[in-house]
Amino acid sequence: MTETFFAGLTPVLKVDFPHAERLGRGKITLLEHIRETGSISAAGRAMGMSYRRAWLLVSALNAMFVEDAVSSQRGGKLGGGAVVTPFGEELIFRFRSMEAKVNTALADELAWLEKNRSFHAGQGEPAFKAPEPRS
């Protein structure tokens, strides 16, 4: 899992593929939930999304690569289920590795931004307040 070095300042990795396909932490987090639950439906619920939305994201992931990231079985006597494939496991690992490298590479810049941002640490209010409007 990726680490956040500075409270409130988190670089977000997103990889844009040709033809408007994207790989980001949402799809990777969905894969992690599928791995934990064995279910696309349960993974979607854990992320606050519908089964349809989760299924569409899994379908998009599987279409993006030469190998499927998730293998699913339809319901039946034993019920349905989903499993993250070995390729999907490697995808999770490599994406989280890229996130860690981005955080490490940007540590100095994030420290500078943190030092110079206009919010007081922990208070969540701007250091500068606009003057009251004149009547």
Tens digit of pLDDT per residue, the chain (135 long)? Answer: 444 445 578 899 999 998 889 999 999 999 999 999 999 999 999 999 999 999 999 999 999 999 999 998 776 555 669 999 999 999 999 999 999 999 999 999 998 998 888 865 555 555 555 566 666
E strand or H helix that includes residue 26: helix 25-37
Give the start-to-end residue ranges of the domains of the chain: 14-105
Query: Rounded to two decimals, what is the model's pTM?
Result: 0.78
**Cα–Cα distance measured from residue 15 to residue 22, given in angstroms and rounded to the nearest whole number:** 6
Contacts 24+ apart (CB under 8 A), 84-91: 84/31, 84/34, 84/35, 88/31, 88/35, 88/61, 89/35, 91/28, 91/31, 91/65
- Alpha-helical (H) ranges within 65-127 are 86-105, 107-116
* CATH architecture of residue range(s) 14-105: Orthogonal Bundle (1.10)
- Collapse the DSSP code of 24 into the 3-class scheme (helix H, G, I; strand E, B; otherwise coil) and give the result: strand
